[in-house]
Structure 1
């Protein structure tokens, strides 16, 4: 049983580390902040959750609560930060608007500026 738990832990840890490396590559290679945010928010969150799962397989039961709290904090904060940073990048002109498939924020910001 312990060997299977060790194998599961190793797979989760290595997969999580691979997602974190892919996140770093995406942040370096993607052209604009929206693409970078996508890499940072999605892949990094999955990588951290996989690493936490692999760690949970190796620690005692009373440490699992702490790991679960870290996972909940990660899931609660990353979308909010991504939204704020993405909107700030859009408002400052750092986003290549011609590469957007749909630009729903433009109409919303114009409506807010008109006061309605």
Structure 2
């Protein structure tokens, strides 16, 4: 029951992040929507799936996937923002 609720909550957060990606006007706002809201959504989904996992091994694998996604998302957001800033530092 709690697992299904967390998965649904995660889907809501990801939907909000996707709407932000489409509606926000500039790159930095879009990156914020992706790096923050989608990571919370993924965290809720991962936690919900971990609670419903049939074994501890599978739950730990889901947790590892979530952690790797958090690290890669933050790194990629930084790289994209940094390259845009170096391209045109007066645009922000």
TM over 0.5: yes
Q: Aligned partners of 1:85 and 1:93: how far apart in 2? A: 13
Q: Select the residue among 64, 68, 71 that pairs with 1:73.
A: 68
Q: 1:49 to 1:34 in 2, by over 3 A?
A: same
Report if aligned partners of 2:5, 2:48 keep a CA contact under 8 Å in 1: yes
Alignment correspondent of 1:93: 88
Q: Secondary structure at the match of 2:83?
A: helix
Most deviating of 86-95 and 9-18: 86-95
Structure 1: gaps spanning 5 or more residues: 1-6, 98-116
Report if aligned partners of 1:32, 1:94 keep a CA contact under 8 Å in 2: no
TM-score, normalisation: structure 1: 0.72
Instruction: State which structure, 1 or 2, has the greater radius of gyration over its C-alpha atoms.
Output: 1
TM-score, normalisation: structure 2: 0.90
Structure 2: gaps spanning 5 or more residues: none
RMSD: 1.6
Q: 1:58 to 1:25 in 2, by over 3 A?
A: same
Q: How many residues align?
A: 91
Q: Select the residue among 1, 10, 16 that pairs with 2:4.
A: 10
